[in-house]
Amino acid sequence: APGAMAAYLTHQQKVLRLYKKSLRHLESWCIQRDKYRYFACLLRDRFDKNKDVKDMVKATALLKAGEEEFWASQHPQPYIFPDSPGGTSYERYECYKV
């Protein structure tokens, strides 16, 4: 069906997922908004520098290095929205559903 998820992720999807989750963890580290914006711009620049790499081997190596850096510097208690899985209100109203 159109719009359904494929079995494999494209390189673009992987990079964008890395970007979003590193931004979310950055938000968990940098509580004040101005400080977050500063480091978010730096992070965006780091991603943008390697935007035009056409060599897939190199691109995959960069992605792998990025994932490793993310793992090393992730926040131990990342911010999770209350209704998201792992959040404080997740599944709270399951017992009231018919």
Partner 1 sequence: MDQPLVLNTFMLLTLATLLTPIILPLLSNNLKNTTTTITNTVKTSFLISLIPMAIHIHSGTESLISLWEWKFIMNFKIPISLKMDFYSLTFFPIALFVSWSILQFASWYMASDPYITKFFTYLLFFLIAMLILIISNNLFLLFIGWEGVGIMSFLLISWWQGRAEANTAALQAVLYNRAGDVGLILCMAWLASTMNTWEIHQIQLPNQTPTLPLLGLILAAAAKSAQFGLHPWLPAAMEGPTPVSALLHSSTMVVAGIFLLIRTHPLFNNNPTALSLCLCLGAISTLFAAMCALTQNDIKKIIAFSTSSQLGLMMVTIGLNLPQLAFLHISTHAFFKAMLFLCSGSIIHSLNGEQDIRKMGGLQKMLPTTTSCLTIGNLALMGMPFLAGFYSKDQIIESLNTSYLNTWALTLTLLATSFTAIYTLRMTLTVQTGFPRIPPLAPVNENNPAILAPITRLALGSITAGFLITSYILPTKTPPTTMPLSIKITAIVVTALGMALAMELSKMTQILIMPKQTPMSNFSSALGYFNPLIHRFSTTSLLGGGQKIASHLVDLSWYKLMGPEGLASLQLMATKAATSLHTGLIKAYLGAFALSILIMIVSTY
Residue ranges in contact with partner 1 by CB under 8 A: 27-33, 35, 38-39, 72-73, 76-77, 79-80, 82-83, 88-97
Q: What angle do CA 55, 61, 64 make, to 5 degrees?
A: 140
Shortest reach from residue 5's CB to partner 1, in Å: 25
- Nearest CB to partner 1, comparing residues 12 and 32: 32
Shortest reach from residue 9's CB to partner 1, in Å: 27
Give Cα 12 distance to the centre of its chain.
Answer: 13
- Nearest CB to partner 1, comparing residues 1 and 95: 95
Task: Evaluate whether 26 touches 39 at the Cβ level (below 8 Å).
Answer: yes
What tokens were used for 43?
Answer: 């992070």
Shortest reach from residue 23's CB to partner 1, in Å: 14
Give Cα 40 distance to the centre of its chain.
Answer: 12
